[in-house]
Amino acid sequence: MTRAFDDLLAANRTFAGSFELAGFDGVAHAGVAVVTCMDSRIDPLGMLGLEPGDAKILRNPGGRVTEGALDALVLAVHLLGVNRILVVPHTQCAMATYTETELRDMVSASSGQDASWQSFCVVGDQVASLRKDVRKVRSHPLIANTVAVGGFMYDVHTGLVEQMF
Ligand SMILES: [Zn+2]
């Protein structure tokens, strides 16, 4: 078995040593779901003053409302207590910086394999994509309009979240 995870498992033993989340249910206690980017500069709970147990966090490159994210949001709304959905892309996102061709070229160079078949959810106009993504959630037949849906932009330099829609 690989030893690549040893440091993380050691850290987990420390984590479990003072574990306080036992017996938690899976409901989002603040009624919040956040769709955001996988970017490591983003702390989705911290940036909104939330704690473990408060929110459902869905992450992908770009913080896009993908089919998978929509599936999760439907479950979150109906089974997990979510009544507020935030879609939060961010400034300086690689998915809005590079074209799909550029990303394919970079992955090809890194892997030494042909990556021309790989698709990426690149974003041309972040604000236009956010508007579209918010509309996709709001218009979903299984997400009632009693659920608040907002589109926001996270600034990776200031930590500020600004509502756009
Ligand atoms: Zn990003």
Please give the pLDDT value at position 25.
87
Please give the pLDDT value at position 124.
92
Report CA(95)–ligand 1 centroid distance (Å). 6
Please give the pLDDT value at position 149.
98
Please give the pLDDT value at position 21.
85
Report CA(92)–ligand 1 centroid distance (Å). 7
- For the chain, the maximum distance between any two Cα atoms, rounded to a whole number of angstroms, is 50
Report CA(15)–ligand 1 centroid distance (Å). 28
Q: How far apart are CA 103 and CA 122, in angstroms?
A: 9
Report CA(20)–ligand 1 centroid distance (Å). 31
Q: How much is the CA Rg of the chain, to the nearest whole Å?
A: 18
Residues 6+ apart with CB under 8 A from 6: none
Regions in the chain scoring below 50 on pLDDT: none
Residues 104-122: b if buried by 16+ CB within 10 A, e if exposed: beeeeeeeeeebeeeebeb
Q: What's the Cα-to-Cα distance from 162 to each of 1, 49, 94, 120, rounded to whole Å?
A: 45, 15, 19, 26
Dihedrals φ, ψ of 54, to 5°?
Answer: -80, -30
Please give the pLDDT value at position 22.
84
Please give the pLDDT value at position 159.
98
Nearest alpha carbon to residue 76 among 144, 135, 21, 134: 144
Report CA(152)–ligand 1 centroid distance (Å). 13
Report CA(13)–ligand 1 centroid distance (Å). 31
- pTM over 0.75, yes/no: yes
- Give the SS3 label for residue 146: coil
Report CA(45)–ligand 1 centroid distance (Å). 16
Report CA(57)–ligand 1 centroid distance (Å). 15
Report CA(90)–ligand 1 centroid distance (Å). 6
- Which residues are placed with Cβ below 5 angstroms of ligand 1, an ion? 37, 39, 93
Element (H, E) at 14: helix 6-17
Please give the pLDDT value at position 23.
84
Residues 70-80: b if buried by 16+ CB within 10 A, e if exposed: bebbbebbeeb
Nearest alpha carbon to residue 77 among 137, 17, 8: 137
